[in-house]
Amino acid sequence: MKFIAFNVRSDEEKYFKAWEAQNDLQVRCVSGPLTNDELDSVAGYDAVLALQTGTYPQDMFKKFKEYGVKVFSIRNVGVDNIDLKAAKENGVLVTNVPAYSPNAIAEFSVTQLMQLLRNITLFRNKVAAHDFRWAPYVGKELRTLTVGVIGTGRIGRAAINIYRGFGAKVIAYDLYPNPTLEKEGIYVDSYEELFKQADVITLHMPATPSDHHLIDKKAIAQMKDGVYIINTARGALIDTEALISGIKEGKIAGAALDTYENESPIFNNDLRNKELTDSLFKQLLELDNVLITPHVAFYTETAVENMVTIALNSAREACEKGTAETLVK
């Protein structure tokens, strides 16, 4: 049994090597992404592992079938960029890592909100300019706010526990409510109701066609004045142009974006000394009350090890048994 893994970073290599030694299986690691140019290299391998937020080759699963690849195992949760229909038609099993570290993302989202509430970017800029005055940037205490959590899966529930620890009031919305949380009465009946009540809106949900630009001009108009928006989920959930307008008009007090709807050409790329051509992204960078991070909410040692190990275990299980606990249906 042989595996090939793409987009393998230097921080992942030790976990691949450790697993390879423990399981006595060959794993070839490739630093680059899985592209059309790389498709021929998968011939002879039983499973392909990948991790990329952009698009995969259009005829990937057709080629997998031709080359004898049985399993496609991704080292992340989201499958919105994978043609699952094509995978099924070509007899290729797809696995993911449903939970590599919910706490990593939850903690990061709260950390970003705390920076917004205390105007950290503004004060950092002032201090760098040797301006040590306080006013007028008075902060807010999290315990005085209502936090609206959209998506109460593993990550959303971890975030809820943290927010409760700060003493904040938490409300939530999910198409598939968690039974325990439902008994606690924290759910509202609609997005609109959450928008109207929440001082903070934090997104912890997958991206689907029906949720594209969930946060748009209409949604922002329904929100409270001075709302904060946190997105560590998927960039497509937010209409960036509408978000920028809401911030410039003062409707939105601040936003923390760990993901961006057009992030693939930007995030995880070294663009130093290069001109950014995305005008919307450039506008976001110019706003002092917007925090942008390059899709790193998940990025902890614990999460990285889990992503690699679970993906490899899933690939082996699927190859051996024709199914896996993490099989994407």
**Would residue 263 show up in a list of annotated catalytic residues for this protein?**
yes
Any catalytic annotation for residue 124?
Answer: no
Is 212 assigned a catalytic role?
Answer: no
Selected catalytic residue, list 12, 263, 305, 317: 263
Q: Among the options 75, 157, 204, 295, which is catalytic?
A: 295
Q: Do the beta carbons of residue 147 and residue 229 sit within 8 Å?
A: no
- Rounded to whole angstroms, the Cα distance separating 117 from 298 reads 22
Tell me how far apart the alpha carbons of residues 329 and 318 are, in angstroms, rounded to a whole number.
13
Q: Given the structure tokens 């005085």, which residue do they identify?
A: 144
The catalytic residue among 75, 157, 204, 234 is: 234
For the annotated catalytic residues, the residue numbers are 234, 263, 295
